[in-house]
Amino acid sequence: MRNMSFMLTAEQVRNRTKTVTRRLGWWFLKPGDRVMACVKCQGIPKGGTIEKICEIEIVSARKERLQDITQIEVAMEGFPQLSRIGFMEMFTREMKCCYGDYVNRIEFRYVD
């Protein structure tokens, strides 16, 4: 099972308030795939371990422009307190991309 990092949203995943994530990659995902949500997957120091949060199952994945995000989608990302623009500013700053860039919108469910 592949590990997917949720370093910026680990708390939202732990609280299960996040059901959508946007990525610049992961284009191979398809409905039914399962991945392990982790705090951090890369840059783990020698002897360190990956902190697993939970298993998730992909519901859907599709290509869309970041700028097409709606306020409802911002809440599904785990940021109900942010505006659309606030979310896009945070995303582009952290991911080093632009509003018009295509992202992979991945919807998932938690596996109990």
Chain segment 16-46, per-residue pLDDT in tens: 999 999 999 999 999 999 999 999 876 677 7
For 106, list phi and psi in degrees, rounded to 5: -115, 115
What percent of the chain has a predicted confidence (pLDDT) above 90? 88
Cβ neighbours of 28 (radius 10 Å): 9
Q: What is the CA radius of gyration of the chain?
A: 14
Whole-number Å distance between alpha carbons of 106 and 21: 5
Range of the domain at 70: 2-110
Contact 70, 14 (CB under 8 A): no
The pLDDT of residue 41: 73
- Domains identified in the chain, total number: 1
Whole-number Å distance between alpha carbons of 37 and 55: 6
